[in-house]
C-alpha cells in the first residue's frame, strides 16, 4: 500500500499499559515527545522548503484543503500528500521509528505505514480544520483499523491550532459529512452534526504527538499566531478488510476538486509519454 521503507533506527519510546488503555477507551492519546528537538529543526527545514517549492502541486499532491484551490488564490490550509516522495530523506528518522513502534503497540505487530501528509496553517490566515472523522474520506467498502500520528513542528496551543478530540467518539460509526461550505470544489469535509461537548484540546511542545483512530472526531482551530503552524502526520494501519455491510459515503461522490483535475491531467500526460 505504501512505498515507505521501514527505518533501521531503533525506537526510543514505549507506551505504558495505562496509555494503551486510555487510547482504546478515548480514541486519542497525547505524547510530549516522539522525537528530538534536533530532528524537529531538521524536519522544519525540509517542510518549509517543500511548501515554498509547491512540491507535488502539478500532480495533485499539494492543494488547499479548505478552499477551491484555483491557481493564483492564496491557500489558507495547504496540504502535501506523501511529502517523502518529494524529500526522500524523510523516509529515515527517529520520528518514523518511534511512530511505527507506537503504532505496533496500539494496533498489533502487523501494523504498517499507510501514508503520510503535511498540513500547514500559514501565519495569521491559517484556516480551521472542521470537525471530522478521517475514515469519511476513505473507501466505504472497507473496514479499517488505523491511526494517525500528528506531529507538530513548533509548540501548539489553542491560539495557533492544536488538536482537539471528542473522547469516546472512536466507538461510533462514520456520521454523515459534507464538503466545507457545501462546495463540491472543496476537498475538506465537515461532520454534519458533530456532538462536540466534552471536547479536549491537546496543547503540545514541538516534536510531541497526538494519536487518534480513523473514527475519532477531531478539529484544529485557525492559526491566529505570527508563525506558521506545521503538522506532519503519519498514518498506520493493519490490512483493511472488505465490509460485509455496505454503506455510502455520498459526500465524496460529487466532488470536483481542482486537485483531482490536476492529478487526472498528470496521469493522462504520463500515459502519452512514448515508451
Q: How far is the CB of 134 from Ni ion (least distance, A)?
A: 4
Of residues 42 and 138, the one with the C-beta less far from Ni ion? 138
Q: How far is the CB of 165 from Ni ion (least distance, A)?
A: 10
- Positions in 162-181 near Ni ion (CB under 5 A): none
Region binding Ni ion by CB under 5 A among candidate stretches 95-103, 126-134, 164-172, 198-206: 126-134
Of residues 160 and 210, the one with the C-beta less far from Ni ion? 210
In whole angstroms, what is the distance from residue 19 CA to residue 79 CA? 30
Q: How far is the CB of 138 from Ni ion (least distance, A)?
A: 11
Q: How far is the CB of 216 from Ni ion (least distance, A)?
A: 9
Region binding Ni ion by CB under 5 A among candidate stretches 44-52, 97-105, 128-136, 178-186: 128-136
Report the side by side order of strands in the sheet with 200-202.
129-132, 218-220, 163-165, 200-202
128 binds Ni ion (CB under 5 A): no
Q: What does residue 108 show for φ and ψ, rounded to 5 degrees?
A: 115, 160
Q: How far is the CB of 166 from Ni ion (least distance, A)?
A: 13
Q: How far is the CB of 214 from Ni ion (least distance, A)?
A: 9
Tell me the site size for Ni ion, rule CB under 5 A: 1
Of residues 41 and 142, the one with the C-beta less far from Ni ion? 142
Region binding Ni ion by CB under 5 A among candidate stretches 108-116, 134-142, 149-157, 246-254: 134-142
Of residues 64 and 134, the one with the C-beta less far from Ni ion? 134
In whole angstroms, what is the distance from residue 167 CA to residue 27 CA? 6
134 binds Ni ion (CB under 5 A): yes
Of residues 116 and 134, the one with the C-beta less far from Ni ion? 134
Of residues 61 and 134, the one with the C-beta less far from Ni ion? 134
Task: At 191, list the grid cell.
Answer: 461532520
Measured from each CB, the residue nearest to Ni ion is 134
Residues in contact with Ni ion by CB under 5 A are 134
Amino acid at each position: 500500500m505504501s512505498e515507505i521503507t521501514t527505518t533501521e533506527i531503533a525506537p526510543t519510546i514505549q507506551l505504558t499499559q495505562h496509555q494503551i488503555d486510555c487510547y482504546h477507551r478515548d480514541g486519542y492519546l497525547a505524547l510530549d515527545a516522539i522525537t528530538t528537538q534536533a530532528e524537529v529543526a531538521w524536519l522544519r527545514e525540509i517542510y518549509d522548503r517543500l511548501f515554498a517549492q509547491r512540491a507535488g502541486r502539478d500532480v495533485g499532491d499539494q492543494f488547499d484543503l479548505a478552499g477551491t484551490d484555483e491557481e493564483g488564490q492564496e491557500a489558507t490550509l495547504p496540504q502535501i500528500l506523501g511529502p517523502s516522495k518529494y524529500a526522500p530523506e524523510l523516509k529515515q528518522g527517529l520520528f518514523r521509528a518511534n511512530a511505527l513502534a507506537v503504532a505496533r503497540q496500539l494496533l498489533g505487530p502487523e501494523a504498517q505505514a499507510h501514508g503520510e501528509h503535511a498540513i500547514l496553517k500559514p501565519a495569521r490566515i491559517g484556516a480551521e480544520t472542521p470537525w471530522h472523522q478521517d475514515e469519511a474520506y476513505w473507501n466505504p467498502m472497507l473496514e479499517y483499523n488505523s491511526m494517525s500520528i500528528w506531529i507538530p513542528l513548533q509548540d501548539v496551543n489553542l491560539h495557533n491550532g492544536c488538536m482537539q478530540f471528542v473522547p469516546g467518539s472512536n466507538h461510533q460509526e462514520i456520521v454523515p459529512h459534507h464538503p466545507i461550505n457545501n462546495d463540491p470544489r472543496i476537498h475538506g469535509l465537515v461532520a454534519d452534526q458533530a456532538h462536540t461537548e466534552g471536547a479536549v484540546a491537546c496543547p503540545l511542545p514541538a516534536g510531541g504527538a497526538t494519536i487518534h483512530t480513523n473514527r475519532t472526531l477531531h478539529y484544529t482551530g485557525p492559526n491566529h499566531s505570527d508563525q506558521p503552524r506545521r503538522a506532519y502526520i503519519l498514518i498506520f494501519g493493519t490490512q483493511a478488510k472488505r465490509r460485509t455491510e455496505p454503506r455510502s459515503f455520498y459526500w465524496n461522490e460529487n466532488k470536483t476538486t481542482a486537485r483531482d483535475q490536476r492529478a487526472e491531467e498528470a496521469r493522462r500526460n504520463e500515459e502519452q509519454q512514448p515508451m
